[in-house]
Structure 1
Amino acid sequence: MQPIVIIGSGMAGYTVAREFRKLNAEQELIMITADDASNYAKPTLSNALAGKKSPEQIALGDAEKMSTQLNMRIETHTWVKEIRSEQHQLVLEKDGESSTLDYAKLILAVGANPIRLAIAGDGSDDIHVVNSLNDYKAFRENLDKRQDKRVVILGAGLIGCEFANDLQNTGYHATVIDLAAQPLGRLLPAHIASAFQENLEETGIHFVLGTTVEKVSKVENGDYLVTLANGQSVIADIVLSAIGLQPNISLAKTGNIHTSRGILTNSHLETNQANIYAVGDCAEVNGTLLPYVMPIMQQARALAKTLNGEHTAVHYPAMPVAVKTPAAPLTVLPAPIDVDVNWETEEFDDGMLAKAFDSTGTLRGFVLLGATAAKQRLTLTKLVPDLIPVSV
């Protein structure tokens, strides 16, 4: 029998392998990755400074350790150039040499790539992104060299705010720039976003909103002049871009696999091609992209059963997202984007609680800001209906 092949060594790929091994210890399993296959949790990158973790301490295991632990062959620094869906075959490239690999089932766990703005200036190529441990190592190495500790962050979304909080808490000076009028624009109603922003500003984080970066220029002492569309400019030691991710769909297209924003799958994580599945940040499941930890766990458990012969649909219970901003403790359960909601807010001395109700009075989402509100997380989560019901 041909092997089950997983492309990608991120959280999604490793979690599928781990869950599958709980059910089946013998089936041949191969992981293919373009990097070194270090196993780590990407969410730890945005609070590693406050956690006093060096980049070398973040990885939980290298390829050799993970291969032994999961009884899985891991091919590192190997690129999949093409998926031959009809032949159930991959075209690989390693060290400049091409080869082919047959598979019984294929899992695409290829993640998402950072969105890059077209920014002018001779400093634009020096803008950091942090989408992997290797990216983070480069960022920290550069960060450690700088004296003045001024970091400009492009993007006031979840990752941008987490990095700003982490940097500001450890002696750096963070300026966050975003075209939106508020931080976490896609997750928070305006009145909660305003309170969240104020809490972060009290730590010294500076927000410049409603504008975008036009140019990043090198100036003396290795600094950067960041020129904004509103005419303002900011001097930075380092510029970090955190404006979002785009699912990696280019490889799927080589196999005539249907894509939209992500790789399209049904509730069983099946693509339109036989025995090919997608999981994690690259997967658009029943039209929904959920680039968070809990959905990956749910997908991996369901897919492991399917791979082992028990056809299983992914089940999404209500899954709140904890934002790692200790200066403004925040938990968000976003309401479905296709549902009209009304917000009801309760204020506390240390924050607020906002509930999103649909037209039937059903709770569809909530936002908890501060320690008092956070105590209601479990109670409220139980009241929210599943996002995607179990189906067969």
Structure 2
Amino acid sequence: MKPLEDVRIVSLEQYGAGPFGSLHLAALGAEIIKIEDPRSDGDVGRYVPPFNEGRDSLFFESFNRNKSSVVLDIRSPAGREVFEDLVRSADAVYSNLRGDVPAKLGIRYEDLAGINPAIVCCSLTGFGMDGPRSRQPGYDYVLQALAGWMSVTGEPGGPPQKSGLSLVDYSGGMVAALALTAGVHAARRDGVGMDCDVSLYDTAIGMLTYVGTWQMNEGWEPQRTSHSAHPSLVPFQAFEAKDGWLVIGCAKEKFWQRLTEVIGRPELAADPRFATFTDRGVHKDELIPLLEEVLLTRTVAEWLEPMQAASVPCAPINEVHEALTDPHTLARGMVVHTDHPRYGRMASVASPVRVGAPLAPDEHRRAPLYGEHTESVLRSLGYDDARIADARGRGAFGD
């Protein structure tokens, strides 16, 4: 069995952050029953351009492999009855909605404990379920701005910039998956469920880590650095070679010693201005131009070979297609293929979470079509034809 194969999660998820979290739970074997609201025609991720058609998009495919889709209007009395039957059979209810919406929908622990005392209610919201911003919608770019990320991203003198990927969303999804898993473990141990109040805001603030510690204790204000340089380790940044760019990182003194040998400048290691991390930081405006001048004399490949042979941390700055076709990417099984009725044989990025054996290539399922599993999930609850027809007639699945 997969690690979470005995876990059933009813998920009111949408767009990116929430589905990203449950994507990894599904890869670990959890049953993810994705509730899609007929009032909004399902998860908005189904309609994200540019690669979208009808109720399918490559964006949606990226976040929803190995899940089931059930169309259900939980705000209607009939839909609520079905939802509560699902809760009785589930370990967790997972959602990513605005902070005040879980209470309005009645999906908090206090709303569902009478139905299933061991249910775990994990809410991933923009700003959390309390606090002055709790009613505000939270999106990745907004959180990157509020949490200070954009102030330290980009070149000095340029405008603030977001990261190239939606890292707050993705990190928030991972935090929610961790919280939910811990909650289910505790509920099975104690027989009592709980709320998991996870927010993108908390995630973004938490990821300030040492930058936050330095600021609060020493008044340090981080500045944007040229060529993505590390704020305290020198050299550790992007350098331009004759035909492109590479990253070189001397995170230990031994790497600095090796680097000076590789580039043919061993005297730099003996120079008292560059002897230690602290010295190199003080004199970085003298050191970096010397390194830049040398590194421009060869191609990226010509530098990578001797640096890798000397175990100096380094890498080419790849384009996305280069990263996805890197031999290590393929050897690690990070590209998976599924068959889709609209897109045919398609590739997507695998979950990096591994506990025991990862899913085999033929175990991956494409993202579900809209409402594809409504009937099969209801039948797993014991619904027969008459009961399904009755629920449909009373508006449980929309008009």
Normalising to structure 2: TM-score of the pair? 0.26
Q: Which has the higher contact order (CA 8 A, sep 6+)?
A: 2
Structure having the higher Rg: 2
Q: Which has the higher strand share?
A: 1
Normalising to structure 1: TM-score of the pair? 0.27
